[in-house]
Amino acid sequence: MPKLALVRFIPFRRADILQMCLQEAQLDTAGLAQFQMGAAYIERHFCDDFHRVKHRLKDAYFSLDPDADTRLVHLDNSDNTADLARQISQLLERANYDKVTPEVLSRAMNSSSLFNIRLVVSLDDFAEVLLYTRGVSERTEEVRGPFNLWRKNVEFINYDRVVLYLRFKSEMDKDSPFPDCRPGSTMLKLFQNVPEGDLEMLFPNTQVGMRLRDKLMIGIPALVSGGIVLTTKLGATLVLTGSLLGFWLGWHNEAVALDRKALIVLLAGVATIGAYLWKQFSNFKNRKLRFTEALTRNLYFKLLDNNAGVIYRLLDDAEESECKESLLAYYFLLAAQQPLSAQELDQRIEVWFSQRWQCQLDFDIDDALQKLAMLNLAYLDGGYWRICAIQNAPLGQDIGE
C-alpha cells in the first residue's frame, strides 16, 4: 500500500477553530479585539464572495442539470460545459479536494472490492469523467470467507468524501446504458467513506460480475449434483436414448420400439434435465441478485447528495475552508507578536494541531497568506509577514478572480 501524504483539509468546523484559537489565550486585550474584528471581516468577506460564486455556478449548471424543473430560455447559444468544469474544479480546490489521477483510478479499477463483489464499469460510456477526493486514511476491516469458514483483516485506503463529475455524450444511441438521461447533461454525485477498491460502484453503469470463486461455488455443486441426477434419475432415459442413436447411426440392427412406455421415459428424462438446468440458472441469477442488493445497500448509506445539491454542499465546504485557513494564519501572526516567515508560521500551525489536537495535516500556508494579503490583513516585508491595520482592508474584492 503506498504511503499516504498529509491532507490539506482541516477536520474542524469554522466555529470550533475560532473557539480553539480563543482558548489559547495568547492575545492581550488589544490583540484580542483586533483578532475578533479581523475574524468578523474574514467571515463577511467570504460570505459575500461565495454568494457571487453560487450565482455564477447556478447559471453555468442550469442548462446541464438533469434534475432542473424550470424552463430553459435560449437567450444565447453559448456552451456552458467547459465553463462549468472549470468553475467546479476551482470550487473543489478551494474546498481542499484533490483530483484523482488516472493512475489511482486505474489501480482502483483493477483492485478487489472490499465487500466481495466483482464490479465492471466502462468509462467509454461517458464524454467526461472526473473524480475528486478529500480526507484519505488507511483502515483495516475484517473480511469473512464463504460460510464464515475463515476471517482475515484487510488493509485499504479510504476516502472520507468523493465527488463524481459525469458528462453524458451529446449523442446517445438506442444501446446506450442511459436511455433516460438527457444527452449532454452533467451529473454530480457526492459520497462518503468510499474504499479505493470500490470506486467503481459509484458509477451509474456499474455491472455486477461473477468472480472465479463465485463461479466455482456454483459450478462444482452443479457438476456433483448433475452426476447424481445422471446416475439415479436418468439411467433408463440414457439407455433408451443410446439405443435409438445406435440404431439410427447404423451401429446395430435391432430396432427400438417407441411405444407409450418409451415415450414416457423420454419425456420424463427431458423434464428432469430441464428442471435441473433451470435450478442451476436460478442459483446463478439469485447469487447475482444478492450481490446487486449488497451493492445497492452499500450505496444507500454512502450517497450524500446529487447534482445541484452537491454544488451547494461544496460551496459551504469551500467557504468553511477559506475562512478556517485565513483565521488560523491571522491568529498565529497576531499571537507571535513579531514578523514570521511563511515557513515559521506554517510550522507553528502544524505543530499546534499535532500536539494540541492530535491532528496531522499539511497546512496550506501559501494560500492562507495570499488570502490575508489580498484582504490587506497582512503583508510581506523582506521575507517576513507582518500584521497590518484592519481598517485598511477594502471590502468587496473577490479572491482568486
d(CA 251, CA 253): 7
Task: Give me the residues paired with residue 156 across strands.
Answer: 139
The angle, 0 to 180 degrees and rounded to 10, between the axes of the packed helices 212-232 and 235-248 is: 80
CB 327 within 8 A of CB 20: no
Question: Which 3 state secondary structure label does DSSP give 192?
Answer: strand
Task: Give me the residues paired with residue 188 across strands.
Answer: 165
d(CA 178, CA 341): 54
Of 387, 348, 388, nearest to 365 by C-alpha is 348
pTM score? 0.76
Phi and psi at residue 139, to the nearest 5°: -130, 160
d(CA 224, CA 240): 23
- Residue 257: its pLDDT value, please? 55
Write the single-letter amino acid at 145.
G
Exposed e or buried b per residue across 343-380, where buried means at least 16 C-beta atoms within 10 angstroms of its C-beta? ebbbebbbebbeeeeeeebebbbebbbbbbebbbbbee
Phi and psi at residue 14, to the nearest 5°: -60, -45
d(CA 206, CA 121): 5
d(CA 218, CA 212): 10
Of 316, 354, 342, nearest to 13 by C-alpha is 316
Helix (H) or strand (E) holding 255, with range, is none
pLDDT, tens digit, 9 for 90 and up, residues 276-287: 666 666 766 666
Burial class (CB in 10 A: 0-12, 13-18, 19+), 172: middle
- Residue 88: its pLDDT value, please? 95
- Residue 338: its pLDDT value, please? 92
d(CA 354, CA 289): 47
Which ranges of the chain have pLDDT less than 50?
A: 229-230, 392-401
- Residue 286: its pLDDT value, please? 65
d(CA 192, CA 136): 11
Q: What distances in angstroms separate CA 85 from CA 36, 72, 128, 165, one per listed residue?
A: 37, 20, 10, 9
Q: What is the DSSP letter of 139?
A: E
**Region for residue 353 given its phi and psi (left: phi exceeds 0; alpha: psi -120 to 50; beta: otherwise):** alpha
CA 42 to chain centroid, in Å, comes to 32
- Residue 400: its pLDDT value, please? 38
Provide the total of helices (H) and of strands (E) in the chain, helices listed first: 10, 9
Give the number of C-alpha atoms closer than 13 A to the C-alpha of residue 56, restricted to the C-beta side.
17
Phi and psi at residue 167, to the nearest 5°: -115, 125
The cell for 43 is 467571515
- Residue 16: its pLDDT value, please? 96
- Residue 290: its pLDDT value, please? 66
Question: Which 3 state secondary structure label does DSSP give 136?
Answer: strand
pLDDT, tens digit, 9 for 90 and up, residues 293-306: 666 777 788 899 99
